[in-house]
Amino acid sequence: MTKRLIPILILILAAPGFGQETAAPNLGGYLYFDFSQSQEDGLFSNGRAGGLGAGVFLAGALSGQFSYMLEARLMPENEVKIEQAWLGFSPSQTLRFTLGHFLVPFGRFNQANRPHERFLVQVPLVCERAYPSSWRELGLQAWGKSGFLSIAAFIGNGLAESESASGGQQFGDNNADKAWGGRLGVQPDQSLELGFSYYKGKYDTLGTRNLTMRGADAAWTTRDYQVLAEYIKADRANLDPWGKGVTEGYFVQLAIKYSDFSPVVSYQKVKDNDPFHGPGWASPDQAGAGLALDQTRWAVGLIYLPVPNVRLKAEYDFNRETGIALKDDLWCVQAAVTF
């Protein structure tokens, strides 16, 4: 991890104006550890310990109206990922442009997906299936706010074609097309926010077939309650004679704060149907076995905060697949720490 971070740190430290009339950089991080155990038909029927992950970030202001952010993340697979690495320019307090590597502003969950930011251990089903984990983009992003409206828009290389929608992360570009999208936020009062998201880009190597995504989200937050909901639909154009692939689903989550404890319950649903991709897919002109998933989940959990920067979580998932009799319920625990 150190070797991969050194060149980026050197570039930041060597940037024009760094260290000259700049604010002190903000340095922090997080780490987490989890254990999962599923029933006999699940992925972790033998139990999985050692799901260790960590992250570090460095952010600050350069001279004038420029800022920067660098975040690196060590995943449980012992793979280091650059979560964010961008240079920002803010002509005003309500407008900012960022150039570089950023989390895609689609929905709410993707931009707050780290373990210490979410209430449950497992990723919601639709967020797990519709786009890559910790979906990032390399390109240009603009963010603005006026009154009760906010908007985040971006243009970049886009997602690539893969065996499934969750495997399309890329940082180069597999075609000449540029993808674009963003999120419009509406906040009528301090406790309620609504969001509407859109994404469109060519995802095959020839640049002829569209991937289009639409989303809606809502958050209602008070001193004692938080309700989150998110809906996503992704349409993938396929070669003839195969029909299009569609991933569609939603989740609703309720958390109640009671002293240092927060019980959580969530209902999740996803359908992922694609006659062209799936296991065995290897190239744009070679079909896979297809995807046909219809799954629901009831997740119940409990969070305990012994101190403000430590979050201990326990969760049990009741998983059900339409047309398939599987024993794949899951229970898991996680400790997440920020510093």
What is the 3-state secondary structure of 176-212? CCCEEEEEEEEEEECCEEEEEEEEEEECCCCCCCEEE
How many Cα atoms occupy the beta-carbon half-sphere of 331 within 13 Å? Answer: 4
Q: What is the pLDDT of residue 8?
A: 44
**pLDDT, position 17:** 42
| Arithmetic mean of pLDDT, 328-332 | 96
Whole-model pTM: value is 0.90
Q: Is the pLDDT of residue 130 over 80?
A: yes
Would residue 40 count as lying in a domain? no
Residue 77 has pLDDT above 50, yes or no: yes
CA 8 from chain center: how many Å? 23
Rounded Cα distance, 278 and 259, in Å: 46
Average pLDDT over residues 129-138: 96
Q: What is the pLDDT of residue 67?
A: 94
Q: Residue 153: which domain range?
A: 98-338
Tell whether 262 is covered by a domain: yes
Percent of the chain surpassing pLDDT 70: 93
Which of 284, 253, 247, 279 is closest to 266 using CA atoms?
Answer: 253
Let me know if residue 263 belongs to a domain: yes
| Residue 18 pLDDT grade (very low, low, confident, very high; cuts 50, 70, 90) | very low
Domain membership flag for residue 192? yes
Q: Are strands 310-321 and 26-38 parallel, antiparallel or unpaired?
A: unpaired
148 found inside a domain: yes
Is the per-residue pLDDT at 74 higher than 50? yes
Contact 295, 270 (CB under 8 A): yes
| Burial zone of 262 (CB within 10 Å; 0-12 exposed, 13-18 middle, 19+ buried) | buried
Distance from C-alpha of 220 to C-alpha of 54, rounded to nearest angstrom = 29
Total domains present in the chain: 1
| CATH code (residue 200) | 2.40.160.10
20 in a structural domain: no
322 phi and psi angles, rounded to 5 deg = -65, 130
C-alpha span between 335 and 28 (Å, rounded): 17
For the record, the structure tokens of 26 come out as 């903000």
Question: Do the domain assignments include residue 63?
Answer: no
Nearest to 11 by CA among 58, 64, 79: 58
Whether residue 280 is contained in a domain is answered as: yes
DSSP 127-161: HHHHS-TT-EEEEEEEEEEETTEEEEEEEES----
168-225: per-residue pLDDT in tens? 999 889 999 999 999 999 999 999 999 999 999 999 999 999 999 999 999 999 999 9
pLDDT-derived band at 13, boundaries 50, 70, 90: very low
**CA-based nearest residue to 207, from 177, 231, 230:** 177
7 membership: H or E segment, kind and range: helix 2-14
